[in-house]
Amino acid sequence: MTERPYVVDEMISAKTIAARIEDLAREIDREYRDTDKLVVVGLLRGSFVFIADLVRELDLPVEVDFLEASSYGDAMQSSREVRILKDLRSPIEGRDVLVVEDIVDTGFTLHHVLKLLGSREPRKLRTIALLDKPARREVALKADWTGFEIPDEFVVGYGIDFAQRNRNLPFIGKVRFPEG
Ligand code: PRP
């Protein structure tokens, strides 16, 4: 699969992403202005670029933690089984928690993560996703904040991979196979 040649066409530019993140950060600042210290949880690995840019735009005291959940491995299709590969470092009971996801596709990953974190009794558990692909949804769920709604295209970049490649592209691109 990784050997098949493909090209990446830019879909959302780095500049457009940055502008959207500024707007989202202002909304989050407003929402949490009375919160003591917000726990921002990045879902590895895909969200590492988004969370880095998002927390630097926030004008709030934040704690940053990470959770690694995987449903795809190197495949293009969701396995529907979500595995927790790395848990949070700190307890979240009674805390305000914002889960940061790069993309919501079928929704299985976020659904599973919210169930897990919800069972730890945070004060408030909310979600932000940079991308939302509603056409692919299999679990009824929507992030509280979404950067961009996108069509059912295979996307890479800005943290998102294709077989572990292209995470370092500064924009969101669409994968295209020129030979059909
Ligand atoms: C990808 C992506 C989301 C999830 C979305 O993660 O980063 O976390 O899939 O898909 P879903 O809504 O269908 O569950 P992946 O399992 O590929 O791991 P990665 O973040 O390490 O790339």
Is residue 60 domain-resident?
Answer: yes
Measure Cα distances from 91 to 29, 88, 97, 118, 131 in Å: 23, 7, 11, 12, 28
Evaluate whether residue 77 is within a structural domain: yes
* 145 C-beta closer than 6 A to ligand 1: no
Would 1 be classed as within a structural domain? no
State which ligand 1 atom lies nearest to the alpha carbon of 133.
12
Parent domain of 86: 14-29+36-151
Count structural domains, the chain.
Answer: 1
Question: Considering the domain boundaries, does residue 7 fall inside one?
Answer: no
Residue 72 CB coordination number (10 Å): 17
Give CA separation, 9 vs 2, 46, 71, 77, 163, in Å: 17, 19, 25, 21, 17
At 97 the pLDDT is 98
Tell me, what's the pLDDT at 79?
58
Is the pLDDT at 2 greater than 60? The verdict is no
- What does pTM read for this prediction? 0.94
Q: Ligand 1 centre and the CA of 180: distance in Å?
A: 25
Is the confidence at residue 136, as pLDDT, over 90?
yes
Does residue 142's CB lie within 6 angstroms of at least one atom of ligand 1? no
CA of 95 to the centre of ligand 1 (A): 25
* CATH code, domain with 40: 3.40.50.2020
* Model pLDDT for residues 65-115, shown as the tens digit of each residue: 999 987 755 555 655 677 899 999 999 999 999 999 999 999 999 999 999
The pLDDT tens digits for 6-65 are 999 999 999 999 999 999 999 999 999 999 889 999 999 999 999 999 999 999 999 999
Q: Do the domain assignments include residue 47? A: yes
- Contact yes or no for 71/80 (Cβ under 8 A): yes
Residue whose CB lies within 8 A of the most ligand 1 atoms, among 103, 110, 138, 165, for a mutation test: 103
pLDDT at 137: 95
The continuous run of DSSP H or E covering 85 comes out as strand 83-86
Cα 90 to middle of ligand 1, angstroms: 23
